[in-house]
Amino acid sequence: MPRLTAGPFRYRTRADQYLEFAMRYAHVPVKQAVISPSALSLMYPEEGIPDYPREQFIDDLLHEHETEVRRCLQRGAHKVQIDFTEARLAIKIDPTGSLLNSFIDLNNLALSRFSPEERQRIGVHTCPGGDRDSTHSADIDYSELLPSLFELKAGNFYIALAGERDPAHVLGIIRKHMKPAQRIFLGVVSPIDPRIETPEEIRDRVLEAAAYIPLERLGTTDDCGFSPFSDDTSTTRDQAFEKIRSRVLGTALAAKQIGGG
């Protein structure tokens, strides 16, 4: 992470600018991703900054995050997704859970600034990382993360699952710890795997998930973004769109089978 050297902390570019551009071309509802306050909090150095205490930095950080999310909602984002990729990594760094809990607390401070209705349009994404075709925390069992993750005051959760070795194990944890008002979007496509999943594979993954999660609260997504930092070395643009197409078709196949149509 870069290090902050002076205050006050301000965003130079906000995500709603990217959203505005995307909505010129989109013909479907658009979900806009934003970075989590917990990730940005790591920019503040341990030794502190003269005349800019950490408490003031956190206030500025929360203000900037709230402003960004609100502007995305006002510009018509169907959902705003807070990328919380560092959650699983936090357990690897600190197995006691203290670091993760501090992240949860900070992100909840941000989420508490929104009404219950607004939080139904806000979600949290978690995955074991996907930069440079690798993961940073896939060896951390979801049982160490998900109980705490579902304490976040968000209405939607986007959970990487396609890359997991034992999906049924993860689904069982989700069923046990998810809250009544939370909707779960499960990753059924792995962006860092160059192999293109078939619609039938996606269908089967959705059908398996439907045995654990109520249908009205179940959705699909990708495990993580496609080349979020332009560092993907195995998945081309054409492959990415083929994977997305398979997810859409496979989800529709599952919905048809479940609905009996």
Tell me, yes or no, whether 9 lies in a domain: no
- Domain residues for 88? 24-259
> Kind of pairing, strands 122-126 and 156-159?
parallel
Tell me, yes or no, whether 17 lies in a domain: no
The structure tokens 């940073």 sit at: 136
CATH of the domain at 53: 3.20.20.210
Helix (H) or strand (E) holding 101: helix 98-111
Tell me, yes or no, whether 18 lies in a domain: no
Q: What is the number of domains present in the chain?
A: 1
Q: What is the dihedral of CA 90, 93, 97, 99, to 10 degrees?
A: -60
Please say whether the beta carbons of 88 and 125 come within 8 A.
no
Beta bridge partners of 56: none
- 134: pLDDT strictly greater than 70: no
What is the tens place of the pLDDT at every residue in 222-248?
988 776 545 556 677 888 889 999 999
Q: What is the dihedral of CA 95, 98, 104, 109, to 10 degrees?
A: -170
Question: What pLDDT does 222 receive?
Answer: 93
Tell me, yes or no, whether 11 lies in a domain: no
State the average pLDDT over residues 70-74.
Answer: 97
Compute CA 158 distance to the chain's CA centroid, rounded to the nearest angstrom: 5
What is the tens place of the pLDDT at every residue in 146-159?
999 999 999 999 99
Question: What pLDDT does 129 receive?
Answer: 62
Tell me, yes or no, whether 124 lies in a domain: yes
**What angle (nearest 5°) sits at the alpha carbon of residue 115, between those of residues 144 and 178?**
25
Tell me, yes or no, whether 8 lies in a domain: no
What is the tens place of the pLDDT at every residue in 217-226?
999 999 887 7
Tell me, yes or no, whether 43 lies in a domain: yes
Tell me, yes or no, whether 91 lies in a domain: yes
Residue 74: which pLDDT band, with cuts at 50, 70 and 90?
Answer: very high
Measured CA distances, 2 to 42, 46, 145, 162, 184 (Å): 8, 13, 26, 31, 32
